[in-house]
Chains A and B, each alone.
Chain A
C-alpha cells in the first residue's frame, strides 16, 4: 500500500489538491511525454528537410527505391488500427469490456502487422542494395546509380535520413505494440478495465494516435514527395 495515489478515482485529477488541469495524471503525463516525442521527431524530420532541400544535387525520384504500393497499404493499415483503437476506447467508455478487448486485439494485430511489413521492406531494400550509408557497391541499385536513374551525390543522404526516420518510427510502433500487449494480458483480459476505470486504454490510445500521425507525415514527405 503506498501513498502515491491520493486520488480516490483513477480517472480524475488527484484529490485533495489545488486545481490543476482537470485531467487525471496518467493522461496529463502522456501529453507531456508526447511533447518530448514531437521534439525528437522534429529533430529527425528537420534534419531531413535541411539535408534534402539544402543538397546541391538532385534527390532520388519517388518510387524508384521505395515501394509506394506496399507502404500505402501499410499506411492504411496503421490508420485502421487507430480506428480500432478508438472503437476499443468507445467500447469501454460504454462499459463493454468484451468489445473493448476485441478492438484492442485488432489494434495490436494491426500494429504488429505494420511492423512486420516494415521489417520485410527493410530486408528487401537492403538486399537490393539500399543501406543507411546509401547504395551498396555492386548491388542492383548501384546499377541504377551508374546509369543515372538515381543521383549518386545524394543517395548517401537519402539512405541516412530514410533509415533513421522510419527506423525510429518503427521502434516507437513496436514499443506501442508491446505496451498494448502487456495491458491486454495484465489488465484487459482479467477484466480490470471498466466504465469507471479505463485510463490505461485512453493513455495508450493517445500514444498510438501520435505514432500514427507521425507516420502519415513521414509517408508523405519521404515516400510521396
Chain B
C-alpha cells in the first residue's frame, strides 16, 4: 500500500489582466457566470418565499390584515387584507418564480456552469460567449417577470401552469399586460436554457480531460449532462406554447380558445409535454450532486455507479412519455390515461433503485456529518416521501380523487423542497470554498439545517392530510366549503410552521453573505474529495488549469486499499497507474 505524499495541485493559470467589467459583469468565465446565476437565483428564491408567506397568511388567518400589508396597493389588499384577485396572483407567481427563476437556475445555471469544466478537466465551456448570453437572457426574463407584478391589473393569475382559455383571455382572468409579460418572460427563459444546454452538452462530449472516460465522470456531471439534453428538447416546446399563448392574447389567434375554434386541451398537452421533463430537470442535478456528497460523506465509493447512470438515463427517457398523468381527469381519452399510468408507475422504479444505492453507499461507510452530508441524507429521506406519494397519483382511480388537492401540493413540495432545495443547500455549502475561497460557518450551517428540517416537515406533511380530506388547490378561502372548515386548525398550523421556516432561512442567507467576507479561508480540498476541481486553489482561478489534468481513475475512490488516506483523487498518479491512451484523432 502506497502513501501519497501531497495531493498534486494543478498549476494555476496565467496572470489575469481583464478589466473589472470583463471580469465580473460581462464575464465569459463559466465560474463567474455560475456565481451570477447564484446571486440572481437566490434573490428570486427569496421573492418566491415572500409570495408564499402572503399566501399562507391568507390561508392561516383568512380575512385578517397582514402585518406589513399596508404597503400593498388598495386594489390588491385594502387595509392589508388580501383580496381573491391578489391571492391567485400570489399562487401563480410563487410557482413561476420558484420553478423557473429559483430551482431550475440554481441547479442548472449555477452548477452546470460552475462544475462541468472543473469536474471534467477543461479550461472553460465550449462556447464562452454564448454561455454569457445564457445568463443575460435569464436575467432579462427574470426582470420581465418581476415587472409583471407592478403593471396595471397586476400579474398573471392562472396558476404557474397557465391553463387556457383562462390564461388566453383578459375577460376571463382579469389580468392583461401582466399575463402577456409572463409569456414574454418565459420565452427568454427558454432561450437561456437552450443556450446553456448547447454549451453543457458540447463541452461534456468533446472537452473531457485525457483519462476522463464516460464512466469515470462524477454522477453530478452525468446528471447535468442528461438534464441538459432534457432542457434542450423540452424548453423549445414551452417556448412554442408561450408564443402561441401570447399570440392568442395580443394578436387574436385562436390556438387555445374553443369559442373561436381552438382547443383548450392543446395547451395542456404542450405544457405538460414540456412540464414533465421539466420536473426531471428539477430533480436530476440534485440527485447527481447528492451522490457526490454522500459518497464523500460516507468515505466510500458510490454503490452501483453504473446502475446509477442507467437510472438517470431511464428516468430521463421515461420522462418523455408520462406527461398525461397530469391530465387523467382533463377530458383526455381514458385509454390514453391507462397508457400514461403504466409509464408513470414504471418511472418509479429507477428512482427506487437510486434510493437503495444511496443507502448502499452509506452502509458500512465511515460517515462524516458535515453540513453538506446532513442535507444530502435529508434529501434521500424527504425525496422518498415525495416519490412514494407520487405512487398514489399514478394510480388513476386514486388520482381522480386527489388530483388538484393539497395531496399534490404536498408531493411537489416534498420533491422540490425536501428534495431539490435541500440538495441545493448542501451543494452550495459544498462548493462554496471553490467558488469564493472561504468556508461557510459549520455551526450555523447545522442550526439552519435542523431548524429547516423540522419546520419544513411541519409545514408540508400536514398537506397530505388536508389533501386526503379533499381540500382543493388554489382556493382563496377554503372555509366557503363546510367540509373544509374543520381543517382550519391544520391550515393555521401549516401557516405558522411556514413563517418559522421562512424566518429560519435568514440564517442561511446571513451565513452565505457574511462568509463571503468573513468566512474562514478555505483550504484547497476542505472535504478531502476526489474530483478534479479540488486540484485547484480555492477559489479556482480564471482558466482553471494552465495545462488540463490527466485522469487515472473514477471519482469515488474513497477508502481505497491502494493508499493510506481514505480518499484518492482522480488526478493523483500512483506508481502503478499508466497514462491514458492518446485519443486517436486525425491530425493529433
Q: Which residues of B contact A2 (CB under 8 A)?
A: 28, 124, 128, 543
| Chain B interfacial residues counted at CB < 8 A | 62
Q: Does A119 interact with chain B (Cβ within 8 Å)?
A: no
Q: Which residues of A contact B561 (CB under 8 A)?
A: none
Alpha-carbon distance A20/B585, docked complex (angstroms): 10
Which of A15, A28, A54, A133 contacts B583, CB < 8 Å?
A15
Q: Decide if A32 touches B232 in the complex (CB within 8 Å).
A: yes
Minimal Cβ-Cβ distance residue in A for B232: A36
Q: Decide if A29 touches B198 in the complex (CB within 8 Å).
A: yes
Q: Does A138 interact with chain B (Cβ within 8 Å)?
A: no
Q: Which residues of A contact B198 (CB under 8 A)?
A: 29, 32-33, 36
Q: Decide if B202 touches A51 in the complex (CB within 8 Å).
A: no
Q: Decide if B261 touches A14 in the complex (CB within 8 Å).
A: no
Q: Decide if A28 touches B202 in the complex (CB within 8 Å).
A: yes
> Nearest Cβ in chain A — how far from B268, in angstroms?
12
Which of B28, B244, B254 contacts A4, CB < 8 Å?
B28
Q: Decide if B261 touches A164 in the complex (CB within 8 Å).
A: no
Q: Which residues of A contact B247 (CB under 8 A)?
A: 132, 160, 164
Alpha-carbon distance A29/B544, docked complex (angstroms): 22
Q: Which residues of B contact A18 (CB under 8 A)?
A: 208-213, 551, 580, 583
Q: Which residues of B contact A17 (CB under 8 A)?
A: 122, 206-210, 548, 583
Indicate with 1 or 0, residue by residue over A25-63, a CB within 8 angstroms of chain B CB atoms. 100110011011101101110010011001101000000
Q: Decide if B240 touches A35 in the complex (CB within 8 Å).
A: no
Residues of B196-223 contacting chain A, CB below 8 A = 197-199, 201-202, 205-213
Minimal Cβ-Cβ distance residue in B for A157: B261
Which of A51, A57, A132 contacts B252, CB < 8 Å?
A132
**Residues A29 and B202 in contact in the complex (CB < 8 Å), given A2-B128, A16-B210, A160-B254:** yes
> Nearest Cβ in chain B — how far from A114, in angstroms?
22
Residues of B5-19 contacting chain A, CB below 8 A = 13-14
Q: Does B71 interact with chain A (Cβ within 8 Å)?
A: no
Inter-chain residue pair count (beta carbon < 8 A) = 172
> Nearest Cβ in chain A — how far from B330, in angstroms?
15
> Nearest Cβ in chain B — how far from A152, in angstroms?
10
Alpha-carbon distance A40/B208, docked complex (angstroms): 30
**Residues A50 and B263 in contact in the complex (CB < 8 Å), given A15-B583, A40-B239, A132-B252:** yes
Residues of A146-180 contacting chain B, CB below 8 A = 153-154, 156-157, 159-160, 163-164, 168
Q: Decide if B261 touches A42 in the complex (CB within 8 Å).
A: no
Q: Decide if A32 touches B202 in the complex (CB within 8 Å).
A: yes
Alpha-carbon distance A133/B585, docked complex (angstroms): 55
Q: Does A69 interact with chain B (Cβ within 8 Å)?
A: no
Spell out A's residues near B (CB within 8 Å): 2-4, 6, 8-9, 12-23, 25, 28-29, 32-33, 35-37, 39-40, 42-44, 47, 50-51, 54-55, 57, 131-134, 153-154, 156-157, 159-160, 163-164, 168
Q: List 18 A-B contacts (CB under 8 A).
A: A9-B587, A12-B588, A14-B206, A14-B207, A15-B588, A16-B582, A16-B588, A18-B208, A19-B583, A28-B206, A29-B127, A32-B197, A36-B194, A40-B237, A43-B239, A51-B255, A134-B260, A160-B262
